[in-house]
Structure formats: structure tokens, C-alpha cells
Copies of this chain bind each other. A is one copy, B any other.
Amino acid sequence: MDDAAPPRSMTAHVLDFLFEYQTLKIVNIGNKKIGLLNRCIQGIIVAYIIGYVIVYSKGYQHFSPYNSATTSKVKGVISTKNLTDDDFVENFRNKDDYRRIWDVSEIVIPPSEADAFFLTTNLIMTRQGRDVCFEDPSTPNVQCRGPSDCQKGRVDLLGNGVQTGKCVNTTEPFKLESVCEIDGWCPPEYDRGPLKDNKPLFAKVEDFTVLLKNYVEFSLFNLTRRNIRDSDTSKYLTSCNYDPVKDPACPVFRIGDILKFCGIDMSQIGSKGGVIRITINWDCNLDFSLDYCTPTYHFMRIDDPFAKVAKGWNFRYATAQGDNNRTQFKAYGITFRISTLARGGKFYMVNLAVNIGSGLGLLALATFVCDLVVLNCMKKKELYKRNKFRFVDPLEDPEALDDSSLDYGRIQ
């Protein structure tokens, strides 16, 4: 009885609480089938926790956030001096402009990009001046029969200038027809070729090489790594060529090899250009020696090679000659985008404990499933229910059953 028991002090209660150990009452069910089912599910969960979460996903480590930067340096030179007139599409203008020696300054546009670089594979050059001339006949709605079809001052956004209101004839290499005259950069670009059969002008760009310098910083561990090994000599860097099997550590990549790794060749991508993703993957277990912390490279063409419209990648730029003349370039080519993925981890007790703890929690799944089976599907389910559950009816008199109202549950 409450009043009979000696009153216990607050301190005693606190100490009781402090030194108390509560564990769960377990009901052992001696049924081999359900036991086996239970162990199987538990086994799968433990295998998942240990095999996948702890070992494979390195659940015993903590991982650093990272920063990275990549710079690229392209080397190569192309000669197109031996192109004959027959190599060009018919009636092409200024063929001589295309017979040149081209070096990196003319092929890599812009000269420097962060985590990216662009190689020209095909090029259309147009010498233009501020003038009046016929509009590009491929512009919608510029065909005319007379001046009444052209509206002075009209600007067609898909065109190249402001209409003057005159109707004039095109000249070669365009198909001969009558189109509205424009005021703008003249003459309009002839958007074909320059070479026959969709041959890229700079097919030999596949012999170019690019040196990628990749830096990755694991900020949590205050550690910086780069993809060029300290042991690499200058001579090695000028002579080596990346190969996933023979020389996976060489940071110099032949463009043709990159295309091959993507499963394509220059004839498929050179004429219209494309987008290639280079992924530099660092997966570093920093519990081991830094010597094992080296990157792997992955290459993938990510534009659609089978696209029927808006295929490839091109852009226009111009070099001015004075105020009123320029050479306009339409450059088709491959834009390489470099991304760095890095994972650097070190052993960390807290993460190991949390993952084990969460894993133990998952074991409840096994009990949950087995309970469903035991309590619903087995012949002796009533026996199991009776032993698993204890029903407390609040309508009972608490005193009637047990007179130890304070030291409840104490075995006497």
C-alpha cells in the first residue's frame, strides 16, 4: 500500500532511474519453419547492412565535400593546303581561304574556358561588309516577284538585316531566284559545305591531343590531389597517350581516342559537331596510401547522334577588319564538358555506429513479417497469441491481483 510503504526520497528515485536497466521481454517460439524464415530475413538484412551499407558504400567512413577545377591544353596543327577544287561543294566562294595551315589559336574557340573546351571540326567563313545585298533565300517569306512583295524597314528575326523594299536576284553559289534586298552584313553566309559529302574540314583534329589538368580538393581533410603524378616527367607528358588499359594514368588524350571511347568516329560527329562529356572520377579511400587515390576517366557523347533536327553544335563568331568589314565564322565542332566526381573518405566511428544502429532498427522488419505469419497463418496461432500478448483490463481492481503497488512487477 502507498501509505504503508516507507516514503522514498527524490534522490533515491533518481538513483533508481540512473542504475535501472530495461530490456525487452522476448517470447521464444520453438517452431523451426518460422525460425528459419526469421533467420533468412535477418540474414538478408544483415548482409545488406554489412555488405552494402558498411563495406560497399563505406558506411564506416565520413566523406569530405570537394572542390575541383580542370584546365585543358590542346596541341596540334592542321594543313588543308592540299585540298583541290573538287573537294569543295559546287560553286563555293573563296576556296583559297580554306587552304591554310591552322593551329590551336584558330581551332580552339574560345581559347580558354572553365571546365570545358571546344574544337572546331568544320568551318564556314564569309567575308562580309556593311552593305546592301540579297537576303539569304532560305529565310522564310523573302521570295519576291517585285518591290511590292518587300516592305521597306521590315526586320525578319530569322534574316540577316533590314529590308530595303527592293526585289533583287541572288548570285552564285545560291540557287538563282528573286528575293528581297536587305541592308546589313553582306553577302549572306552560304550555309553548306565547305567540303563535299559532308566531310568535315578539320577531320584531322582527331590527331590533336589535349592535356587535362584536374585538381580536386577534399576540404574536410585539407587535402589536394591532381591527376598528374609527382613522378611524371616532362618527357613522359609530351610522349604518353591515355589508354584505359596500357596507360590509365597519362593525362594526355588523343581526340580520336576519345571519340573511339564514345563509340563514334570523326565521320559521324565532325560535319555537324556534338557534345562530349568527360567525367573524371576520384574514388579515394584515404585510410590507405594516397598513391591509390588516382582518377579514372569516362567519356560519353551526350547529344543525340540520330537527331533529325537541330543536330550537333555550332556557333558564329566574327573577326572585325575595321568598322565595316569582318570575317564571319560559322564553327561546327565538338564541345567537351569536363565534370569531376570525387569521393574521399576516412574512418569515422560515429558514422559506423549510426549505420549499425539504423541496421538494428531494420531488423524489426524480420520480426514484423514473421509476426504476421505466426499470428495469422499458423495452426497453433492461438497458442502463440496467448503467449505473445498480455491483455490488461483497466476495469479490474489493481489491488485484487497484486498488492505490491509500488514495487510493481517485482518477482516475489
Contact = CB atoms under 8 A, between A and B. Distances in A.
Q: How many identical chains are in the complex?
A: 3
Interface string A380-412: 101111111111111010100110110111110
A25 B86 CA distance: 91
A103 B189 CA distance: 13
A213 interface: yes
16 contacts: A19-B30, A20-B35, A22-B29, A22-B389, A23-B27, A67-B302, A69-B335, A75-B157, A104-B316, A213-B310, A228-B310, A234-B310, A353-B365, A360-B368, A386-B401, A393-B411
A69 B337 contact: yes
A32 interface: yes
Contact of A392 (B112, B353, B387): B387
A390 B159 CA distance: 88
A300 interface: yes
A290 interface: no
B184 A103 contact: yes
Contact of A408 (B18, B309, B356, B382): B382
Q: Which 7 A-B pairs have the closest CB atoms?
A: A19-B35, A25-B25, A111-B317, A386-B408, A383-B398, A357-B362, A361-B361
Contacts of A215: 275, 302-304
A116 B115 CA distance: 10
Interface string A164-187: 000000000000000000011100
Contacts of A370: 21, 23
A48 interface: yes
Kindly state the interface size class of chain A when it binds its partner.
35 or more
Contacts of A113: 113-114
Contact of A34 (B21, B28, B211, B304): B21
A224 B302 contact: yes
Majority SS of interface residues in chain A? mixed
A81 B321 CA distance: 21
Contacts of A27: 22-25, 389-390, 392
A324 to B, nearest CB: 10
Nearest to A79: B162
A5 interface: no
Contacts of A361: 357-358, 360-362, 364
A277 B216 CA distance: 11
B213 A303 contact: yes
Contact of A21 (B22, B29, B185): B29
Contacts of A155: 77-79
A400 B392 CA distance: 22
Interface in A98-112: 100-101, 103-106, 109-112
Given A101-B184, A215-B303, A408-B382, A22 B26 contact: yes
